[in-house]
Amino acid sequence: MNVRGIGRVVVVAMALTVPLGAQLLSAPGADAASVTTLYYSSSDAPDYVAQIDQGAANWNAAVTDVKLVKRDSSATIVIHETNDGQGSYTNTDGHGNGQIYLDSTQVAEGYDVTRIAAHEIGHNLGLPDDYTGPCSELMSGHGPGTSCKNEKPSAQEAATVQRNFANGFAPATAVRTFR
């Protein structure tokens, strides 16, 4: 089976188990001081460092509850470059822990690299695929085709991520691999 396109992903453990105390202390979106910092590494995707940084920057510009920072040591979002023609994808828990694989074959087909990176990061921020969605969404992935160059989340996508991290949403302790 050769699944292609941006993102075969299974987001594991979407259920939000927020400690009761945390719920009481912080209403969603009400606490501007609650920022979750997630560290990502792009050193294993040397051809796409600039595009990955731009994809992360686009998320940082759209949300305030979570912040993506590049740092190799102890990064919980680790981005790799592959060329197996399988399409780009991520294994993630949807809580800021994941391995992202950017497929150079897919890039050669004309898909926008920054869009791919931002899409896969979106999974790591808890968003599911929406292949039938418009180009204005990141999570429509390969759906709108190679002509789609949108590299920024839609307002709705940003709002969902904002909500996902509104209570601090601490990263899970273990990466669960699950395609």
98-103/89-92 β-pairing: antiparallel
Of 37-76, which residues contact Zn ion (CB under 5 A)?
none
Q: In what order do the strands lie in the sheet with 66-70?
A: 66-70, 36-44, 77-82, 98-103, 89-92
Give the number of other CB atoms < 10 A from CB of residue 162: 17
Backbone angles phi, psi at 40, to 5 degrees: -120, 150
| Shorter beta-carbon distance to Zn ion: residue 153 or 167 | 153
| Shorter beta-carbon distance to Zn ion: residue 65 or 129 | 129
Query: From the CB of 142, what's the least distance to Zn ion, in Å?
Result: 8
| Shorter beta-carbon distance to Zn ion: residue 7 or 94 | 7
**Residues identified as active-site:** 120
Residue from 93, 103, 112, 129 binding Zn ion (CB under 5 A): 129
Applying CB under 5 A, which residues contact Zn ion?
7, 9, 129, 141
